[in-house]
Structure 1
């Protein structure tokens, strides 16, 4: 770990050993704003390699790697404890970037939750709740979502199907036998809807407490140079490309450029009081109609807290 006295504030970026999260970290390192950057991911060897590469490429030394497995509630709690007990600058930003998409079968987290929902939503939900008391005034939280949450975006992906959080955590596998690929893609789009529902609900709860912490969601768009589709077979990937509209394919984005756009939500002083919004790259736009359903957002929040057994001490925003 580098000397934290060289920085004035800390940012945690999940899933930042490559792709979008890595380039977000790179942009922050080059910003000249004296951040202590934490690269958080489950593969510690890749974390350490990413830290070394970032330091070399940016000539910025205040970068630290920490192990964080979002598929394990125990790992998330250990990460939070290690952060709290360490000597670092005040926590001023969390970028919930890590995400997976599983289309080959149904997998489960260490705690028995369906993997896509467990990692993309529940792991981040716990992480943010545990670290909220550590966040300084005017801190920022960003959830990386996707335009696949929106049926009107014509992404070629199945529409999200949100009923309740418990069903997402413990799906009925009887409907998975005929087309697990389509089911897996649907779980992914639904998890991305959950990211936005969680963003808006957290923003509302913080405003109710008159907190100056802001929470926004970010859509990087289709990026062909990431590892998100690593669980796809060649046939499945070909089918996805075939069903994706030509306009979406033509407007595919570069992960380095989107990493800079994501970093902007942390760095830009003009966004100091912007909260509960959805950004498509650099542009603030409307998310799907369903994402503004406050009843669903509240149900997701309350049910998620029960699923991960958030203690009264941890649940500072439960009520």
Structure 2
């Protein structure tokens, strides 16, 4: 059966997506940094749906971990243990509040986790993908400073990979946690669009899609926030207030189902370069931020990111050069 790789597929909307895909009979590769939790989910999916489930340890904040995970996945495909990847779902990520922190590679943790790791993973896995495969990036409406989501979290700043990777170093004032998060999601949307343009120029049938799951209570997204904030974020009152002020809201169940749909449904086979949003029970294509469509900024972001992750010339798929 066709194979789906999903990062962060053992919790939140990723788990719901994994369940939906397993129910359709797909072989699942769970990639994440919690082997114990992934094993538990794998056992659940096998028992419930009789599907094949593999687990690969992956920490997107570590480029060494990304390389090891990609090598493991490619080896599975080359050995014939699984079919070529029908979809790669780049879903893992987070917001990191408190003092600035850095990855094992010395990069700011939010940008390293949400952006650099997935960028390198996709580059290394493209040769293991089916000819008509899909890459789906979990983004966020917070990337757009003109929306309520973006204004509440903190308006995204310039998508400068070098500056974002080194945020807060050498005594410079760091960005707020909200700005770091929203800007990382702006970069995610721009990676998705730039990938779509490169694949299109190469005549590839692989599709690249960006997805906004909306604000989804109960995912653990605010785990670094004070206990009172976490509690209130999961109340029905918070949901009502969010809707009233214009925040894009959804549920774990609907957003997880939407993520799965974008990854495999035939209706999205020609949706490359699109931005889709889950909002109050409806999945629809919509416009992303104005900056996200700036092709020169995206090109610079792409090339700078290649340097940051240390991508070797021979590692870059021919159609993306």
Taking structure 2 as the reference length, what is the TM-score of the superposition?
Answer: 0.89
**Equivalent position of 1:77 in the other structure:** 67
Pair 1:60 & 2:50 matched: yes
* Range with greater deviation from structure 2 (218-227 or 250-259): 250-259
Alignment partners' CA distance in 1, 2:223 and 2:181: 14
Stretches of structure 2 lacking an aligned partner (at least 5 in a row): none
Pair 1:38 & 2:32 matched: no
Alignment partners' CA distance in 1, 2:217 and 2:259: 17
Alignment partners' CA distance in 1, 2:294 and 2:258: 27
Q: Is residue 222–residue 248 contact of structure 1 (8 Å, CA) maintained in 2? A: no
Stretches of structure 1 lacking an aligned partner (at least 5 in a row): 1-6
Question: In 2 relative to 1, CA 51–82 (structure 1 residues): closer, same or farther, beyond 3 Å?
Answer: same
Alignment partners' CA distance in 2, 1:194 and 1:283: 21
Q: CA deviation at 1:106?
A: 0.8
What does 1:155-304 align with in structure 2 at a 5 Å threshold?
Answer: 155=149, 156-173=152-169, 174=171, 176=173, 183-234=176-227, 245-247=242-244, 252-281=249-278, 282-304=283-305
Aligned residue pairs total: 304
Q: CA deviation at 1:54?
A: 2.6
Question: In 2 relative to 1, CA 197–247 (structure 1 residues): closer, same or farther, beyond 3 Å?
Answer: same
Alignment partners' CA distance in 1, 2:205 and 2:288: 23
Please provide the CA RMSD for this pair.
2.1
Of residues 98, 117, 126, the one that matches 1:123 is: 117
Q: Is residue 151–residue 288 contact of structure 1 (8 Å, CA) maintained in 2? A: yes
**Equivalent position of 1:3 in the other structure:** none
Q: CA deviation at 1:247?
A: 2.2
Question: In 2 relative to 1, CA 253–144 (structure 1 residues): closer, same or farther, beyond 3 Å?
Answer: same
Alignment partners' CA distance in 2, 1:318 and 1:302: 11
Taking structure 1 as the reference length, what is the TM-score of the superposition?
Answer: 0.90
Question: In 2 relative to 1, CA 237–48 (structure 1 residues): closer, same or farther, beyond 3 Å?
Answer: closer
Alignment partners' CA distance in 2, 1:15 and 1:290: 28
